[in-house]
């Protein structure tokens, strides 16, 4: 066993948590090649003793490394370093920010108003957003203050890319919360993701073959098709999009959700991320589109990093939105363009007027800068964590008949049937109990090969009240696991 | 002489002004074919006497009919009916709304912030907007009230086409102010004209040959080129886009500004409009895009009608914006789609999320419905009329050396040189006097044939204060007409 632990210099005065120092140290050892694939790490008990920290602290660090794909946990045997593609060319990442400086986002991938036609007492929609904790009063106060000060400059047309002040704020936010290093020049603010994708079409052109995961986010697919981009659906394994199939697809672009794939909830491990980045760097015209839609709602230790954080070759177009982190009505999204694409942006669509009002940009900027956003997200994270834990408790009785997955992040989980029932049957049964569930099959954009798609239903819990979760899942258990 | 006057039944109790009743009667006589091309109308003095109205009233009616192209005024001879293409198939228009029910818009065609680098004491920019009379307090009050009432529904994502309530309001407004008859279903609300044009690209497809006037609105041209729409520039005569050249162009679309062409200020006469509509109706795939950008700032009697008002064959895509009528920061524009294009919209891009926040839509809806918009526009119209009249007074000394034109509407005028000076020379002279003028040549998208382009400068006065207009034009007169 490698004498790893003795090198870790823990600093209790560091602003980083101890678990994060351990996590960061081991991660760097792996990324730099000091720890090689297949090597076994000390047991968490041993490491805890030698570092004089609690075992929980070490477990948190190991857990994070496992969920990011640096380590693999083999039952009864311990933790092993995973094989990582192309790690040699990744320099040391910037120091991790303090968790308190991290923001989260509450978002749900697919948009559109959720319809409940009254047939369902409990709607486990993966699209719904809970606005009950939204600081309406704060938002109103900021709006009022801004309008009091506002004169004509606030009512004038701003820069096409968005107001610089807000872009600077977003840069800081992305650096602190998602490890993204970018310049305000790379950021384009627009009224929603769909609009930003429209700009991306102008930048990249038409007829660009794009690969998507299968199942995936349906509206993104519709949008790409409206660009005349031929879409190929690449099958996934437990690490997400399969790289061999991506290579076979002939695609030039790949659209991925590495932090929490919609709808499967898969967190893409670091090894797969490296392979993906390597694929993109092999040809000049290849790019990755990272839709980082609900990355902050991770219920373990620290958030899953973004793919953009590891993007050393300027290959990732990063897209995020405040529409769902704050409120769907706030039509503000942002896109971080690789430097290589900035010139094309300026030539081909840099003259398009901004789609976001300066008033709204200013309100958002104040909301973030004055710390309201962070506070709101922390509150939401706790609130959702409560619902999340309740979900897991209430899903225990399902354990014999279903596999529960996708629970590491986001606002929905998957129940995969073990008894050979069809999704239509599961949906029908739920409906009879007054419960609306969402068949996974609806998110497959093309039929997967025989046996690859196991019957599963999606349970979104973002907008449900705790008592609704309890009652809904109990009704479901009665009919699913009689 | 036709015994026209005796048929006019003036009704002093009618909500329409007397001049408008006369105008409406004669217009219908021409449109229905009772008055034929070339026929002479009674003199205004004769008609005034026989109708027992003031001569000013008749002059206003005749003036309106001349500016819309129904009548032609021949000096020393009187008023004659113009030849109108295709009028036979135009049914009687809906009753004209009462002037008080008409709204106006203060807009300026090209957007983008106006830069003044300090070199110029007087900037006659055609892009600047005067916000000094904007009812900030009202806007703030509405915003505050809406946020007080607002709960989560206001913060949720609305319909892709825009909130129905606002679409109904826009329908009413368009009917009352622009004679447009449309259904809320035909309206798409979006964050700015550029975005709506992006949707139009999705609806119509790529590589659609489009004709534009020359000179024209530069950004629209850039946008069409970003769609891979081949743009042909069609020369204009005093009636606007020449139909023979349009026919030769092979275009399937024509982008026009019939109410007040930018930058020439030409009002397209009714005859040309009919020819244009006839051209569009000849082939299924032909459409007209009407950018009705500053139609309300007409300084004669009633506003110039929209092309859409005469669109009997469902061929006009009508685009308007509140971004400039209210404030550039308000990113709300609207597009009226022909019924024929609605299906394609729903199939091809009906799933794109709305780009306008529901909060902003609601504020605007209240602003219009509660009459604030109308009051603001009335105020602005008076205010601009004052500046407009001042411009004309101060431009009198230029009369020997320049032709003044484009003064019938909008917020800019043209000075066309009679002394053979070049635009660069005019610009240089103005700059020496600390005055910024805008050469017409900058708006030509391709060089017109020798002799077609006469040296002219554009003088926008929207954002200048009266004393700046006076001082700026006096300085200009000193150097232009020494």
Main-chain dihedrals φ then ψ at residue B338, nearest 5 degrees: -60, 150
What is the C-alpha radius of gyration for chain B, rounded to an integer number of angstroms?
23
Across the interface, whether the CB atoms of A223 and B351 are under 8 A apart is answered: yes
Interface confidence, given as ipTM, is 0.72
* Closest CA of chain A from B280, distance in Å: 26
Mode of pairing for the β-strands spanning A456-460 and B231-237: unpaired
Across the interface, whether the CB atoms of A360 and B355 are under 8 A apart is answered: no
CA distances, B357 to each of A366, B1, B190 (Å): 18, 59, 10
Count, in order, helices (H) and strands (E) of chain A: 14, 16
B12: left (phi over 0), alpha (psi -120 to 50) or beta: alpha
* B339-345 long-range contacts, CB within 8 A, separation 24+: B339/B186, B339/B314, B340/B314, B341/B203, B341/B204, B341/B287, B341/B317, B342/B185, B342/B186, B344/B203, B344/B204, B345/B188, B345/B199, B345/B203
pLDDT tens for chain A, 482 residues: list them.
Answer: 444 544 677 777 777 788 888 888 888 888 777 777 888 888 888 888 888 888 888 888 888 888 777 888 887 888 888 876 544 332 222 322 222 222 222 222 333 333 445 578 999 988 777 777 888 888 888 988 887 765 656 677 779 999 999 999 999 999 888 889 999 999 999 999 999 999 999 999 989 999 999 999 988 999 999 999 999 999 999 899 999 999 999 999 999 999 889 999 888 988 999 999 999 999 999 999 999 987 667 676 566 789 999 999 999 999 999 877 777 778 899 999 999 999 999 999 999 999 998 889 999 999 999 999 988 888 888 888 899 999 999 999 999 999 998 887 788 999 999 999 999 999 999 999 999 999 999 999 888 877 778 899 999 998 899 999 999 999 999 999 98
CA distances, A195 to each of A319, A336, A458 (Å): 11, 14, 28
Give A227-244 as a 3 state SS string.
CCCCEEEEEEECCEECHH
Main-chain dihedrals φ then ψ at residue B175, nearest 5 degrees: -65, -50
Q: Which of A357, A358, A360, A367 to mutate to test the interface with B (most CBs of B within 10 A)?
A: A357
Interface of B with A in 209-248 (CB under 8 A): 219, 222-223, 226, 228
For residue B201, the surrounding DSSP H or E stretch is helix B193-204
What CA–CA distance (Å, rounded) separates A169 from A428? 48
Helix axes B55-67, B44-51, angle to 10 degrees: 130
Helical spans, DSSP H, in B68-114? none
Across the interface, whether the CB atoms of A226 and B151 are under 8 A apart is answered: no
Q: Which of A111, A152, A349, A363 to mutate to test the interface with B (most CBs of B within 10 A)?
A: A152
Contacts of A296 (CB under 8 A, 6+ apart): A102, A103, A104, A105, A106, A177, A303, A325, A377, A381
* Closest CA of chain A from B204, distance in Å: 11
Beta-sheet strands, E only, within B280-353: 287-291, 316-321, 333-336
User: What DSSP assignment string belongs to B8-61?
Assistant: ----TTSSS-HHHHHHHHHHHHHHTTSS-TTPBPPPHHHHHHHHTS-HHHHHHH
For residue A369, the surrounding DSSP H or E stretch is helix A358-369
Mode of pairing for the β-strands spanning A210-214 and A231-237: parallel
List the Cα angle B54/B56/B62 in 5-degree steps: 115
What CA–CA distance (Å, rounded) separates A387 from A410? 11
pLDDT tens for each residue of B53-107: 888 888 888 888 887 778 888 878 888 888 765 443 322 223 222 222 222 222 2
Main-chain dihedrals φ then ψ at residue A237, nearest 5 degrees: -115, -160
The pLDDT of residue A151 is: 60
What CA–CA distance (Å, rounded) separates B470 from B482? 17
* Partner residue facing B328 (CB), from A113, A155, A206: A155
Helix axes A358-369, A164-178, angle to 10 degrees: 40
For residue A33, cis peptide bond before it (omega within 30 degrees of 0): no
Half-sphere exposure (Cβ direction) of B333: Cα atoms closer than 13 Å: 26
Across the interface, whether the CB atoms of A351 and B155 are under 8 A apart is answered: no
What CA–CA distance (Å, rounded) separates A18 from A61? 9
Beta-sheet strands, E only, within B93-146: 122-123
Count CB neighbours of A217 within 10 A: 23
Q: Could you tell me which chain A residue has the CA closest to the CA of B357? A: A329
* Partner residue facing B134 (CB), from A143, A155, A206: A155
* B393-399 long-range contacts, CB within 8 A, separation 24+: B394/B469, B394/B470, B394/B473, B394/B474, B394/B477, B395/B473, B397/B477, B397/B481, B398/B476, B398/B477, B398/B480, B398/B481
Interface of A with B in 181-200 (CB under 8 A): 190-195, 198
pLDDT tens for chain B, 482 residues: list them.
Answer: 444 544 677 777 777 788 888 888 888 888 777 777 888 888 888 888 888 888 888 888 888 888 777 888 887 888 888 876 544 332 222 322 222 222 222 222 233 333 445 678 999 988 777 777 888 888 888 988 887 765 656 677 779 999 999 999 999 999 888 889 999 999 999 999 999 999 999 999 989 999 999 999 988 999 999 999 999 999 999 899 999 999 999 999 999 999 889 999 888 998 999 999 999 999 999 999 999 987 667 676 566 789 999 999 999 999 999 877 777 778 899 999 999 999 999 999 999 999 998 889 999 999 999 999 988 888 888 888 899 999 999 999 999 999 998 887 788 999 999 999 999 999 999 999 999 999 999 999 888 877 778 899 999 998 899 999 999 999 999 999 98
What CA–CA distance (Å, rounded) separates A377 from A103? 6
**Cross-strand partners of B190:** B333
**Cross-strand partners of B417:** B402
CA distances, A184 to each of A171, A177, A317, A336 (Å): 6, 16, 14, 9
Helical spans, DSSP H, in A191-269? 193-204, 218-226, 243-249
What CA–CA distance (Å, rounded) separates B218 from B221? 5
Q: Which of B146, B357, B465 to mutate to test the interface with A (most CBs of A within 10 A)?
A: B357
Interface of A with B in 328-347 (CB under 8 A): 328-331
Residue A265: helix, strand or coil by DSSP?
coil
**Cross-strand partners of B412:** B460
> Is A392 within 8 Å of chain B by CB?
no
Q: Could you tell me which chain A residue has the CA closest to the CA of B353? A: A194
């Amino acid at each position: 066993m490698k004498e790893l632990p003795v090198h870790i210099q823990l600093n209790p005065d560091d602003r980083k948590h101890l678990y994060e120092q351990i996590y960061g140290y081991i991660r760097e050892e792996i990324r730099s090649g000091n720890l090689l694939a297949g090597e076994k790490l000390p047991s968490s008990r041993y490491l805890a003793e030698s570092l004089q920290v609690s075992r929980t602290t070490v477990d948190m660090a190991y857990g994070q490394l496992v969920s990011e794909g640096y380590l693999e946990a083999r039952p009864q045997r311990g933790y092993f370093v995973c094989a990582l593609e192309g790690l040699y060319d990744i320099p040391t990442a910037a120091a991790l920010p303090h968790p308190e400086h991290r923001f989260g986002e509450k978002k749900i991938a697919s948009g559109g108003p959720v319809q409940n036609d009254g047939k369902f007492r409990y709607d486990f929609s993966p699209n719904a957003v809970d606005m009950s904790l939204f600081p309406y009063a704060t938002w109103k106060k900021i709006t009022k203050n801004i309008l009091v000060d506002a004169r004509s400059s606030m009512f004038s047309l701003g820069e096409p890319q968005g107001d610089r002040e807000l872009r600077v704020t977003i840069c800081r936010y992305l650096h602190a919360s998602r490890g993204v290093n970018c310049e305000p020049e790379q950021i384009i603010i627009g009224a929603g993701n769909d609009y930003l994708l429209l700009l991306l079409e102008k930048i990249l052109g038409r007829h660009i073959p794009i690969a998507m995961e299968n199942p995936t986010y349906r509206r993104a697919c519709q949008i790409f098709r409206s660009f005349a981009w031929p879409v190929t659906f690449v099958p996934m394994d437990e690490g997400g999009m399969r790289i061999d199939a991506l290579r076979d697809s002939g695609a030039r672009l790949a659209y991925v959700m590495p932090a929490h794939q919609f709808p499967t909830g898969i967190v893409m491990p670091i090894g797969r991320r490296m392979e993906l980045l390597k694929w993109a760097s092999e040809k000049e015209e290849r790019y990755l589109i990272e839709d980082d839609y609900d990355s902050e709602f991770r219920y373990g230790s620290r958030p899953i990093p973004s793919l953009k954080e590891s993007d050393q070759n300027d290959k990732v177009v990063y897209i995020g939105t405040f529409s769902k982190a704050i409120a769907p009505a706030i039509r503000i999204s942002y896109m971080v363009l690789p430097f290589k694409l900035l010139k094309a942006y300026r030539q081909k669509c840099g003259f398009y007027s901004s789609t976001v009002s300066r008033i709204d940009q200013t309100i958002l900027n104040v909301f973030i800068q004055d710390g309201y956003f962070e506070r709101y997200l922390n509150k939401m994270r706790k609130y959702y964590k409560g619902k999340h834990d309740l979900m897991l408790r209430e899903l225990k009785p399902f354990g014999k008949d279903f596999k529960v997955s996708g629970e590491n992040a986001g606002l929905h989980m998957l129940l995969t049937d073990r008894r050979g029932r069809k999704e239509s049957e599961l949906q029908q049964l739920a409906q009879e109990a007054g419960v609306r569930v969402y068949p996974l099959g609806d998110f497959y954009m093309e039929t997967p090969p025989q046996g690859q798609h196991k019957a599963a239903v999606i349970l979104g819990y973002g907008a449900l009240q705790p008592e609704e979760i309890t009652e809904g899942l109990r009704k479901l258990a009665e009919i699913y696991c009689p």
